[in-house]
């Protein structure tokens, strides 16, 4: 089945980097500079390990054991956190930053949730194996003889808890357990072959991921709702050109934060995809944006409720 599975049945539309549109999307993710920098550096080392060896030769020529421990980590990164916190947007666009940093072409393969199959015995396992077959095949073409990658492949697994749910769950179906095993084998395969490829997993439920998956992650980046500083940065960017006073911006920052009777504020997606359009549509096409009306809109617009783990 692996060889016969069409690639379009396994992945959403692929994306190649560098790409100006992705670069612009990545730039709009304000307030996540630390995560951007850390993820770019991490993925760069995972897909192009020759740079790590070059760093060792220049700075620590006798630290082979330390560098080898870093280089042998599984090429897996987990992005975990609340809904609307920017995980998926970052995962979908970070390839542009890595491609520019490493000066190589990178292709993103977003895994389709259709790989869960229809629950038939062995189906999800076969589909996941086929997906990793495609990724490994593409990555092998890019592995340079001198250790320097000619390009790289990123496999994006969004809503990862749907495929990598903990096998410790008592209600877990046998087919789901087999699928987790297939996922782990796929990651191990990329590790053992030292291919220029990495896997990015996104999840709202880090605790639901199988412990073996979490243990293999080279890094786990946790995403929180934006604090005052991050909302201020996001709103300042969104409101650029409207000539608002600092006090008007600060009022909007406060209105989108924690409120009496509500222990959570707006997510990044709430600010960009809900509040900003609401402010514009409220006055379009006959009036300019009114800071007072915008503030009232923010106060009346409920933010997306946080995802809360069900109590056992």
CA 200 to chain centre: 6
Same domain, 64 and 171: yes
Same domain, 148 and 282: no
Same domain, 113 and 255: no
Q: Give CA separation, 50 vs 71, 152, 178, 207, in Å.
A: 9, 13, 34, 34
Same domain, 118 and 176: yes
Same domain, 21 and 50: yes
pLDDT computed for residue 2 by the predictor: 44
What is the pairing mode between strands 151-157 and 197-203? Answer: parallel
Closest to 308 in 3D by CA, of 163, 208, 230, 176: 208
Residues in contact with 280: Cβ distance below 8 Å, sequence separation at least 6, in sequence order:
289
Q: Residue 2: inside a domain, yes or no?
A: no
- Indicate left, alpha or beta for 262 from its phi (over 0: left) and psi (-120 to 50: alpha): beta
Over the stretch 205-236, which tens digit does the pLDDT of each residue have? 888 888 889 999 999 999 999 999 999 989 99
Same domain, 249 and 209: no
Segment 56-77 shows an average pLDDT of: 91
Mean residue pLDDT of the chain comes to 88
- Pick the last residue of a domain from 223, 257, 280: 223
Residues in contact with 50: Cβ distance below 8 Å, sequence separation at least 6, in sequence order:
144, 146, 147, 148, 149
Number of independent structural domains in the chain: 2
Q: Residue 49: inside a domain, yes or no?
A: yes
Same domain, 158 and 256: no
Residues in contact with 62: Cβ distance below 8 Å, sequence separation at least 6, in sequence order:
none
Same domain, 252 and 168: no
Residue 245 scores a pLDDT above 60: yes
Same domain, 136 and 219: yes
Q: Residue 19: inside a domain, yes or no?
A: yes
- Pick the last residue of a domain from 223, 248, 278: 223
Q: Residue 308: inside a domain, yes or no?
A: no
Phi, psi for 106 (deg, rounded to 5) = -125, 135
Over the stretch 124-149, which tens digit does the pLDDT of each residue have? 788 888 999 999 999 999 987 766 78
Closest to 243 in 3D by CA, of 291, 286, 278: 291
Closest to 27 in 3D by CA, of 108, 81, 83, 86: 86
- Pick the last residue of a domain from 163, 197, 223: 223
Decide: 40 and 157 in contact? Cβ < 8 Å: no
Over the stretch 262-310, which tens digit does the pLDDT of each residue have? 999 999 999 999 999 999 999 999 999 999 999 999 999 999 998 766 5
Same domain, 70 and 143: yes
Same domain, 214 and 257: no
Residue 37 scores a pLDDT above 70: yes
The CA-based diameter of the chain, rounded to the nearest angstrom, is 69
Same domain, 157 and 91: yes
Question: What pTM was computed for the model?
Answer: 0.86
Residue 312 scores a pLDDT above 50: no
Instruction: Tell me the percentage of the chain whose pLDDT exceeds 70.
Output: 89
Domain that holds residue 290: 228-300
């Amino acid at each position: 089945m692996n060889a016969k599975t069409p690639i379009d049945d396994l992945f959403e539309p692929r994306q190649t980097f560098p790409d100006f549109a992705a670069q612009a999307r990545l730039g709009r993710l304000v307030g996540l500079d630390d995560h951007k920098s850390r993820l770019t550096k991490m993925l760069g080392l995972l897909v192009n390990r020759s740079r790590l060896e070059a760093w060792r030769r220049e700075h620590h020529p006798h630290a082979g054991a330390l560098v080898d421990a870093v280089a042998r980590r599984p090429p897996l990164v987990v992005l975990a956190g609340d809904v609307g916190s920017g995980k998926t947007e970052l995962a979908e666009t970070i390839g542009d930053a890595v491609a520019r940093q490493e000066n190589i072409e990178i292709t993103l393969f977003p895994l389709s949730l259709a790989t869960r199959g229809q629950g038939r015995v062995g189906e999800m396992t076969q589909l996941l194996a086929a997906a990793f077959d495609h990724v490994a095949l593409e990555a092998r073409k890019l592995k340079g003889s001198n250790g320097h990658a000619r390009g790289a492949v990123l496999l994006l697994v969004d809503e990862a808890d749907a495929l990598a749910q903990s096998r410790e769950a008592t209600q877990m179906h046998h087919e789901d357990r087999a699928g987790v095993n297939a996922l782990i084998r796929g990651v191990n395969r990329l590790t053992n072959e030292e291919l220029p490829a990495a896997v990015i997993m996104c999840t709202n439920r880090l605790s639901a991921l199988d412990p073996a998956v979490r243990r293999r992650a080279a890094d786990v980046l946790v995403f929180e709702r934006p604090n005052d500083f991050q909302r201020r940065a996001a709103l300042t960017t969104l409101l650029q050109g409207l000539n608002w006073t600092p006090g008007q911006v600060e009022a909007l920052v406060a209105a989108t934060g924690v409120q009496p009777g509500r222990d959570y504020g707006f997510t990044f997606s709430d600010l960009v995809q809900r509040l900003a359009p609401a402010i514009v549509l409220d006055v379009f096409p006959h009036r300019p944006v009114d800071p007072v009306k915008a503030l009232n809109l923010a106060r009346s617009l409920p933010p997306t409720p946080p995802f809360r783990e069900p109590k056992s």
